[in-house]
Structure 1
Amino acid sequence: MSAEIAELVQQAGPYVTAAVGAYGVGVLTRAESAAVEATANVGRRILQAVWHRRGEQGRAELEAVVAEVEADAADEDAAAALRQQIKRALREDAELLAELAGLLPVTGGTVNVTASGERSIAAQHIGTAVTGDNVTVKP
Structure 2
Amino acid sequence: MSAEIVELVEQTGPYLTAAVGAYGVGVLTRAESAAVDATANLGRRILQAVWSRRGERGQAELESAVADVEADPADGDAAAALRQQIKRALREDAELLAELAGLMPAASATVNVTASGERSIAAQRIGTASTGDQVTIKP
Common fold by TM > 0.5: yes
The structure with the larger Rg is 2
- Given the alignment of the two structures, is residue 114 of structure 1 paired with residue 125 of structure 2, yes or no? yes
Structure 1: gaps of 5 or more residues? 120-139
Structure 2: gaps of 5 or more residues? 113-123, 132-139
Counting aligned pairs with the same residue, the percent is: 78
- Given the alignment of the two structures, is residue 69 of structure 1 paired with residue 81 of structure 2, yes or no? no
1:1-139 matches, within 5 Å, as 2-109=2-109, 113-115=124-126, 116-118=128-130
Q: 3-state DSSP class of the match of 2:31?
A: coil
How far apart are residue 109 of structure 1 and its match?
4.0
* Distance in 1 separating the partners of 2:56 and 2:108: 36
TM-score of the aligned structures, taking structure 1 as reference length: 0.81
TM-score of the aligned structures, taking structure 2 as reference length: 0.81
Greater than 3 Å deviation, 4+ residue runs: 108-112
* Distance in 2 separating the partners of 1:33 and 1:64: 23
Q: How many residues align?
A: 119
Q: Root-mean-square deviation (CA), in Å?
A: 1.7
